[in-house]
Amino acid sequence: MASHKIILGVTGGIAAYKAAELTRLLVKNDFDVQVVMTESACHFITPLTFQALSGKEVLTSLWKSNASNGMSHIELSRNYDLIIIAPASANFLAKLTHGLADDLLSSLCLARTCPIAVAPAMNVHMWTNEATQRNVSQLKKDGVLFFGPDSGEQACGDIGLGRMTDAEELFKSIQNHLTPKILNNKKLLITSGGTIEMIDDVRGITNLSSGNMGFAIANTAASMGASVTLITSTHQNFSENIKVIHTSDAHSMHQAVLEHINNQDVFISVAAVSDYKPKEKFKGKLKKSDSDMTLQLTPTIDILKEIGLSKNKIFKVGFAAENENLIENAQKKLKAKNLDLIVANLIHESMGLEDTKISIIDKNNVIDVPKSNKIVAAKAILKEIAHRIHSDK
């Protein structure tokens, strides 16, 4: 079952191509998307494009209704979580302001029972025009959500406000609006990404962790209302309200964790921290030769175990990436490191991949989460954490 049902309204404008990418992102992340296009929109991008991306017939006309009573504009307005108009032209903002209903999209907006958001897209002079700004002001008073617009170079060559917000940022805004704030006022410290232990100034020992699971957990936790501090080796497009601390090796990650662990409610160790490091780092670059080379390794500090065995009352979550005996090995790690929860996955089913299949394990239960993208998996993990930290009160 899809996590949310969305109506995506597409109006006429060159930015309509961004709506195709937004559709892809929504569907990829388990949203049920019904696309509704205006006649003008069909001149910029074909309904077939959106049908292929959404898996549903695209609706374009008030007079071609699949509803048994012909009231598609009424039926479409029911049982949806949000209507997002992207792009929203100046003309459509005017229609929305004054309650016009001369096509399917404007009719269902007028008949809606769910929230509505708009992603404006127009020339800078159209955006700054007094009439448009009056409409924007009234729509905001009416409770319409505005995502954007952004500033930059426009298709006509002008520069300024009016660009439609990029699809990825729109997706984050939609996700943030629709996600229940079950972690409101909670502080989460998260580690993510693989570390690298330097052999010399240009070579190092690392692993194949992409950091995508930690990325998904951090962004999703922020959308759930949490105050998130992320310690990571990766450079990704994190939400602006996440405090990001970049580290590279196990030592610097360890120091960052110790510096920020106090007063946190939850510690989630997603990072694939190197288990070993070279006993000695060579200066400069080691020269290649025909002889064998022996590299002596020494263990790195076990950050998760240190936090788990400390007297800190923080709720502690670890990850176990295994190649065999998944549940058994994860349960051993849960106990040995004194964790409250552990997320287990098989290496070949997760590391470096977009999708993952996980099991969420505590001292008494194993909850299997079917294979899904990592944002969906992150939601499942955070819901379990929220349930436990709230039930402890």
The verdict on residue 108 lying in a domain is: yes
Count how many domains the chain has.
2
Question: Do residue 174 and residue 195 come from a single domain?
Answer: no
pTM of the model: 0.78
* Same domain, residue pair 41 and 115: yes
Same structural domain, 99 and 33: yes
> One-letter amino acid identity for 106?
S
Q: Residue 17's domain is classified under what CATH number? A: 3.40.50.1950
Range of the domain at 138: 4-178
The whole-number average pLDDT for the span 3-27 is 93
143 three-state secondary structure: coil
140 and 198 co-located in one domain? no
Task: Give percent of the chain above pLDDT 90.
Answer: 64
142 secondary structure, DSSP code:
T
Q: Would you say residue 18 lies in a domain?
A: yes
Non-local CB neighbours of 17 within 8 Å, separated by 6+ positions: 44, 45
CATH number of domain containing 239: 3.40.50.10300
In a domain, 284, yes or no: no
Among 159, 178, 197, where does a domain finish?
A: 178
> Which range is least confidently modeled, 2-6, 21-25, 93-97, 275-279?
2-6
Q: Please report whether residue 287 resides in a domain.
A: no
| Pair 213, 271 in one domain | yes
Q: How far apart are CA 232 and CA 234, in angstroms?
A: 5
- Position 122 scores a pLDDT of 92
Express each pLDDT in 16-28 by its tens digit.
Answer: 999 999 999 999 8
Higher pLDDT pick, 349 / 74: 349
Domain boundary among 178, 207, 227: 178
What b/e string do you get for 341-376 counting C-beta neighbours within 10 Å, with b at 16 or more? bbbbbbeeebbebeebbbbbbbeeeeeebeebbbbb
212 shares a domain with 112: no
Q: What is the pLDDT of residue 86?
A: 94
Does 306 lie in the same domain as 212?
A: yes
Across the range 267-286, mean pLDDT stands at 91
Residue 355: pLDDT above 50? yes
Average pLDDT over residues 209-230: 92
Local confidence band at 393 (pLDDT 50, 70, 90 cut-offs): low
Whether residue 115 is preceded by a cis peptide bond, meaning omega within 30 degrees of 0, is no
367-33-43 Cα angle (round to 5): 155
Is 292 a member of any domain? no
pLDDT (mean) for 98-111? 92
Instruction: Establish if 282 belongs to a structural domain.
Output: no
196 and 166 in a common domain: no
Whether 63 shows a pLDDT value over 90: the answer reads: no
For residue 68, the model assigns a pLDDT of 46
User: Given a cut of 60, is residue 211 above it in pLDDT?
Assistant: yes
Are both 17 and 126 inside the same structural domain?
yes
Residues 258 and 377 in one domain: yes
Question: For residue 154, what pLDDT is reported?
Answer: 66
Average pLDDT, the chain: 89
Residues 228, 204 within the same domain: yes
Instruction: List the structure tokens of 341.
Output: 């929860």
Q: Are residues 193 and 234 in the same domain?
A: yes
Using the predicted structure, report yes or no on whether residue 73 has a pLDDT greater than 60.
no
Q: Which of 132, 122, 67, 150 is nearest to 96 (CA)?
A: 132
Query: Residue 285: inside a domain, yes or no?
Result: no
Considering the chain, what percentage of its residues have pLDDT values greater than 70? 93
Establish whether 156 is a catalytic residue.
yes
Give CA–CA dist 303/254, Å, rounded: 6
Q: Say which residue, 388 or 152, is predicted with more confidence.
A: 388
Backbone phi, then psi, for 195, in 5-degree steps?
Answer: -95, 165
At which of 126, 158, 178 does a domain end? 178
- 283 belongs to a structural domain: no
Rounded to an integer, what distance in angstroms lies between the CA atom of residue 41 and that of residue 383? Answer: 39
Measured CA to CA, the distance from residue 381 to residue 359 in angstroms comes to 9
Rg for the chain (alpha carbons), in Å?
A: 25
β partners of residue 316: 267
Query: From CA 176, how far away is CA 379, in angstroms rounded?
Result: 12
Q: Contact, 233 vs 248, CB < 8 A?
A: yes
